[in-house]
Structure 1
Amino acid sequence: MKKLNTVTVAVVWMLGTLLSFMLMAIAGRELSATLSTFEILFFRSLVGLLVLSVLIHYKGWSLIRTQQMPTHIVRNLAHYGGQFGWFFGLAYLPLSDVFAIEFTVPLWTALLAVLVLGERITKSRGIAILLGLVGMLIIVRPGFESIQPATYAVLLSALCYSLAYIKTKSLVGKDSPLCILFYMTVIQLPLGLLGVIFEFNVPSIDEWLLIVLVAVTALTAHYCIARAMQLVDASVVVPMDFMRLPLIALVGFLLYSEPLDWAVLFGGCIMFLGNYINIQAEKRSLKA
């Protein structure tokens, strides 16, 4: 019963992740009309660092002590690549396409978890991987439509996110979520600065409000992920937010008049089915 309660708590944390990512996508879409991807990521890290510094000041700076700095660096290089591809995709693709392609993350995470964490591919995880590949091919439709460069950017983003998730799992055993988030902003801030140093624009008040929303939701999303990963395996945590796809498709339709692409939704449902089978198998193993 205790293990089942642990899974329930992890689900609650992932619901927080779902809401955070959706709000971040909307704010990112709005900002992409006036700011470059480098500028969005730079200002997001700047605001995030200020917010975290205040929190850590009251909780104690001892929270950021770590003996895993190389892992933090690898995680955040991968995560920055994931963020760049994700925000770049938001500027050029329908929101549902970005989220659907991002849902290949569980596929790459399951494979990387075997190589990096030593997790084994069970029958249910194998099914999730196979259906994930099928769903991805339906969404991308190679050979049937001209694939946009932004599509490749989001696919690469998913691979980068997978490595970041795996490295997060390595960190949560010793470092607190606040510590992980602090080094995320510290490491990614200079990366963003390199992209804007020769083309720096001061945001307007409206842009600052959206930047703050992006920064805060980015922190809450990753805090929730880190807390969930403290409770269950990475290959269980990542698939839990598949409800983002129909929700973001509805948001794109209502706010931006984006057509509902049934191939994207169908491909996403196939990926969801594979991961649902995997989640149910994990729950049964916890009961045993």
Structure 2
Amino acid sequence: MRACAWLLCSLLPAVFIPAQAAELVHYPRHSSDANPERYATELLNQALKRGGEAFSLQPSPLPMSPARAMYSLQHNDGKIQVLWAMSADQRTKALQAVSIPIYRDLIGWRVLLVRSKDKPRLASINTLSELAHLRFGQRSEWSDVDILRANGLRVQTSNAYPSLFSMLNAGRFDLLPLEILVAAEEQQRFAALGLDLALDDHLLLHYPSTYYYFTSKQNPKLAAAIRRGLEAMLADGSFDRLFNENFAVSLRALNLENRQVIELSNPLLPEVPSEQQKRHDLLWQKRLPSTRQAATAQDSQ
């Protein structure tokens, strides 16, 4: 009996001492459910599990605009602890970038959504100067607005992402550039709502760009954990597998190898890429083999 009592007491600490609680990591809930949202959250979730720290990923209770999310993270106010966004000089100075491209440096490649009746109109366009006669749509808080305008293109903005599709359908502007990672899915999603929109199959816009995870500069532990997790996923191939599971089929459907590439400059890029950024950029040099064979449109003027 005494032996049983002793054994029971020896087991109690193991039974009743709770495991260390995971630290919550909130990211800004977005208003759009486009495919990169799911991919970016799953990639981050897997990276955190591989990062050697006890973190639990959750969305913010309510949607946050990009500007509000950056303000929250920059001031470390506790509402969010991580976001993912385009690498820009201002952002990389204010926040801590985890400089591993989460979309394999494909985020700067865009195809154009147009009204179905206007598809033939783009077939004869091959240069940036010819595009300047058309109007582009963008969400007002996106960095793309400044990039397009810096290249001499006219831009009509909206505060709400879904409104861009109805505005295009109504003729408020002519073209909506979409990331190649989500273009097919988004066209189908809004076509199901009755909008007569189609993807142009001739042009492919490109400007240097990449997306990183960002944390507050006051949270180096989280940034280091994300980096370790992503490095581990790159090493064992799970990064590539997750990417291909999400995007390989839709990328093949865009017939990228037969498109005319038009290059745009990006004035928002960080002034000097870090050595780590350069190292990871080399991983994606074969990101679009077909586009290296496509002619880059240069104005003859």
Using the size of structure 2 for normalisation, the TM-score is 0.24
Quick check: which one's helix share is greater?
1
| Higher Rg | 2
Higher strand share: 2
Q: TM-score, normalised by structure 1?
A: 0.24
